[in-house]
């Protein structure tokens, strides 16, 4: 080939486009294929049906609250409140976690006791502090909707029942994927997408501090249920202790994913910490003195620059492109 200016430009564009495609392919698969259960395979129709249900306030006792009331797309599927508001102004027991990437979770709820999304969607419907209803009441209302009855028959080949509602909702929730953050792109090869302070923050997070011992892997969580020493006395909410009554599980809550963390304030299981800077401060002090506190959590010192860098890195984990 004779390399004139036109050929060189074409070759440059060909390489550039090829590189971009390779990077995109890598970071869009960072979390792996969405693990849909064999008995609840994915389909566009089922996802769309689940989305209708997700935004439908008839799932609550008095038609005031939908799933989306506590899991708002604009807030990375949280609600920005310390504890969510349910029917009749009631206050939920805990802070609403993000649903993004919940398809990959190994357990659900802060206790880590619920094992599937199909089971998880039942919890807020039946909780008197949240939607305050029952599946029987929900089905009585939804069965009057001719469109829902048609969709149940069309998609599931059965009448509208609890199986249909839980499978459609969980399928929609599994479609809420966030894996194309600036940090994902950086890890995939787009090194210039982060600035020097953001990269320094990543090095603090992954090398100097112990953050990755709990917030590890592609989803920035090890999915374990442990105590982070938030309190020396946890009061009414003793964490996983309420499930099994084991002393060693007092104050233990599931480690959350840090993806989109800058959008999901306030933090902790009870929404008691308002800012990322305050979260960093909590861990830098080594947490509160508590018998079950994880041995990983120890005091550390950061100067103001390092605190800023760590916070800037955490903000690179945002990606709401799929849900938007």
Is the domain of 186 the same as that of 133?
A: no
Is the domain of 151 the same as that of 199?
A: no
Q: What is the mean pLDDT of the chain?
A: 91
Is the domain of 311 the same as that of 186?
A: yes
Range 114-127 burial, b when 16+ CB lie within 10 A, else e: beebbebbbebbeb
Is the domain of 186 the same as that of 307?
A: yes
Token pair of 257 as six digits: 């994913």
* Torsion-angle region of 6 (φ positive above 0: left; ψ -120 to 50: alpha; else: beta): alpha
Is the domain of 130 the same as that of 199?
A: no
Is the domain of 307 the same as that of 194?
A: yes
> What pLDDT is attached to residue 242?
94
291: number of Cβ within 10 Å: 11
Q: Which residues are within 8 A (CB) of 315 and not within 5 positions of it... i.e. 6 or more apart? A: 198, 262
Establish if 6 belongs to a structural domain. Answer: no
- Domain-ending residue, one of 174, 209, 230: 174
Establish if 191 belongs to a structural domain. Answer: yes
Q: What is the CATH number of the domain that holds 275?
A: 1.10.760.10
Is the domain of 193 the same as that of 128?
A: no
> What pLDDT is attached to residue 29?
55
> What pLDDT is attached to residue 11?
34
Establish if 297 belongs to a structural domain. Answer: yes
Establish if 15 belongs to a structural domain. Answer: no
SS3 72: strand
Cα angle 62, 67, 72; round to 5: 125
Q: Inter-axis angle of helices 304-315 and 276-284, to 10 degrees? A: 130
Establish if 27 belongs to a structural domain. Answer: no
For residue 98, the number of C-alpha atoms closer than 13 Å in the C-beta half-sphere is 28
- Domain-ending residue, one of 147, 174, 201: 174
Is the domain of 121 the same as that of 195?
A: no
Residue ranges for the chain with pLDDT beneath 70: 1-29, 324
> What pLDDT is attached to residue 222?
95
Count structural domains, the chain.
Answer: 2
Range of the structural domain that residue 214 is part of? 182-315
- Domain-ending residue, one of 154, 174, 194: 174
Is the domain of 163 the same as that of 61?
A: yes
For residue 93, the number of C-alpha atoms closer than 13 Å in the C-beta half-sphere is 16
Is the domain of 120 the same as that of 236?
A: no
Q: Which residues are within 8 A (CB) of 278 and not within 5 positions of it... i.e. 6 or more apart? A: 267
Is the domain of 268 the same as that of 200?
A: yes
Tens of pLDDT along 25-71? Answer: 333 458 889 999 999 999 999 999 999 999 999 999 999 999 999 99
Distance set, CA 157 to CA 13, 28, 149, 162 (Å) = 50, 33, 10, 14
Establish if 4 belongs to a structural domain. Answer: no
């Amino acid at each position: 080939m004779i390399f004139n200016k036109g050929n060189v430009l074409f070759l440059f564009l060909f390489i550039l486009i090829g590189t971009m495609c390779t990077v995109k392919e890598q970071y869009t698969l960072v979390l792996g294929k969405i693990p849909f259960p064999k008995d609840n395979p994915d389909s566009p129709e089922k996802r769309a049906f689940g989305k209708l249900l997700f935004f439908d306030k008839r799932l609550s006792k008095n038609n005031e609250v939908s799933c989306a009331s506590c899991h708002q797309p604009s807030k990375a599927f949280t609600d920005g409140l310390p504890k969510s508001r349910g029917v009749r102004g009631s206050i939920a027991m805990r802070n609403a976690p993000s649903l993004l990437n919940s398809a990959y979770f190994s357990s659900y709820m802060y206790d880590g006791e619920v094992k599937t999304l199909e089971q998880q969607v039942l919890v807020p419907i039946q909780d008197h502090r949240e939607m305050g209803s029952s599946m029987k009441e929900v089905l009585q209302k939804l069965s009057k909707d001719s469109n829902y009855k048609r969709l149940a028959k069309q998609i599931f080949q059965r009448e509208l029942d609890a199986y249909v509602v839980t499978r459609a909702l969980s399928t929609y929730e599994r479609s809420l994927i966030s894996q194309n953050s600036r940090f994902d792109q950086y890890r995939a090869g787009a090194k210039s997408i982060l600035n020097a302070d953001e990269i320094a923050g990543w090095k603090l997070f992954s090398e100097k501090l112990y953050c990755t011992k709990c917030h590890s892997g592609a989803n920035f969580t090890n999915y374990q249920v442990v105590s982070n020493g938030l309190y020396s006395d946890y009061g009414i909410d003793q964490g996983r202790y309420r499930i099994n009554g084991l002393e060693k599980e007092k104050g233990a809550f599931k480690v959350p994913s840090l993806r989109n963390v800058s959008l999901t304030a306030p933090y902790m299981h009870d929404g008691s910490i308002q800012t990322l800077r305050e979260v960093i401060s909590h861990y830098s002090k080594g947490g509160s003195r508590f018998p079950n506190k994880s041995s990983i959590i120890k005091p550390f010192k950061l100067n103001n620059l390092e605190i800023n860098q760590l916070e800037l890195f955490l903000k690179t984990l945002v990606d709401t492109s799929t849900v938007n």
